Amino acid sequence: MPASAFQGCDVPVRSDLVDAHERAWAAIAAPGTWLTGARRVAIAAETRRARECALCAEIKAALSPNAVRGAHDTLGALSGAEVELVHRVVADPGRLSERWAQSVLARGLAEGEYVEIVGVVAMVMIMDTCTRALGLPDRALPASQDGAPTGYRPPGAKKRAAWLPLVEPEDAVAADGPMYPSPKAGYIYRALSLVPQSLRDYWALASCHYLPGDVVYQFDRTIRAISRPQTEVIAARVSALHQCVY
Amino acid sequence: MLRESMQMSGGQVDVAQVTRGFGETAEVAHAAALAEFAEAVVLRDAERAAAARARLHTVLGPEGLVDAAATVAAFHGFVRLADAIGIPYTTAARGRDVPELREAAGINAFHRVRGEA
């Protein structure tokens, strides 16, 4: 088993954060809803590869992301559509478009696969960024677990507000499993709802880094060692540097 | 969210700093140091990040540094979720981010907003 992500850190790391990373890596290694464990670990590896991709750097520097043509530097374990999805989401997320998302789907990815891949990429970005921010190297990737994906698609999923189908809180059913902390959960919370297990895995990790859902809108309260305004200075600056409007 | 949290603490913030960068005069304690840390991590500048980390450790302590790192990390995930799934940005902060606020913050210059103009 690989060592803890925070091994060697020169400051003490709260135990819930350490546990969240271990649970998240285990979830990535396990069979998902549409992807096998091996494919999910391959996506994690490609997420890291994308950080060094020359084409991605060229796209990021271009005035228009559509002005650059070429091939991504890939590990070669994924399809062309998967590689395009992983690399663009890692390297230049603020300039994605609905037309681009539809072009990725048209290359042979199912909507559920697209959403599950985005969930894995986002989880790897959180964990690798957290360790790097603390001056640590990337944790070794986990060994994948055997097993078949469940293939579950929520019956209430509809394409309405976003580029991909979402399950609005009022359309969730018991078979989806627990998804939302409240019926008023924001759209960021609903983003992965086409794949409920991805949603649960993602938020178990993300809430531990930012704030749990029941605290997010309590602006006068903090449960962290930095104040709420300090938290939001970081949040706003990181989002702006990514050109994220949300 | 930044504006809301400042209002709850009785202060105000110049939201243009979100895109321009936070200076030492910001009403949030150590805002410039926090923003410098965030920028160094986003830009993957290891040397700059190490200096920013040391400064945060001094002013916030080890627990504060860990929570700052965790917050920077969280938003590396949120931005990818929002932008890859194409959730409607007009619903950000439960709809509190009105067009006037986005304009003041410089966010209307971002690709996604310009692309829909």
pLDDT tens by residue, A34-55: 999 999 999 999 999 999 999 9
pLDDT at A162 over 70: yes
Report residue B97's pLDDT band, with 50, 70 and 90 as the boundaries.
Answer: low
* Tokens at A163, concatenated: 């580029």
Whole-angstrom Cα Rg for chain A: 18
Beta bridge partners of A166: A158
Mean pLDDT of chain B: 83
* Tokens at B94, concatenated: 């439960």
Domain coverage including residue B97: 2-116
Q: Which of residues 143-182 of A touch B (CB under 8 A)?
A: 161-164, 166
Helix, strand, or coil (residue B31): helix
In total, the C-beta contacts within 8 angstroms joining chain A to chain B are 268
**Angstrom distance (rounded) from CA A48 to CA A60:** 16
Mean of the pLDDT values across residues A112-125?
A: 98
pTM of the model: 0.92
Comparing CB atoms, the residue among B13, B50, B87 nearest residue A246 is B87
Q: What is the DSSP string of A61-100?
A: HSSSGGG--------SSS-HHHHHHHHHHHH-GGG--HHH
CB-based contact B38 A237, cutoff 8 Å = yes
Q: Which of residues 62-81 of B touch A (CB under 8 A)?
A: 62-81
Q: Do A49 and A73 form a contact (C-beta atoms < 8 A)?
A: yes
Comparing CB atoms, the residue among B27, B30, B73 nearest residue A126 is B73
Distance of CA A50 to the CA centre of its chain: 14
Chain B residues whose CB is inside 8 A of the A121 CB are 80, 84
Mean pLDDT of chain A: 95
pLDDT at B117 over 50: no
Tally of structural domains, chain B:
1
Q: How far apart are the first and last CA of chain A?
A: 37
Chain B residues whose CB is inside 8 A of the A191 CB are 81-82, 85, 87
Write the DSSP symbol of residue A158.
B
Quick: pLDDT tens for B17-45: 777 777 765 588 999 999 999 999 999 99
Burial class (CB in 10 A: 0-12, 13-18, 19+), A209: buried
Report residue B1's pLDDT band, with 50, 70 and 90 as the boundaries.
Answer: confident
Q: Do A198 and A177 form a contact (C-beta atoms < 8 A)?
A: no
pLDDT at A140 over 80: yes
If one compares A80 and B111, the residue with the highest pLDDT of the two is A80
CB-based contact A125 B42, cutoff 8 Å = no
Chain B residues whose CB is inside 8 A of the A243 CB are 110-112
Q: What is the DSSP string of B35-89?
A: HHHHHHHHTT-HHHHHHHHHHHHHHHHHHHHHHHHHHHHHHHHHHHHHHHHT--G
CA atoms within 13 A on the CB side of B16: 2
If one compares A47 and A2, the residue with the highest pLDDT of the two is A47
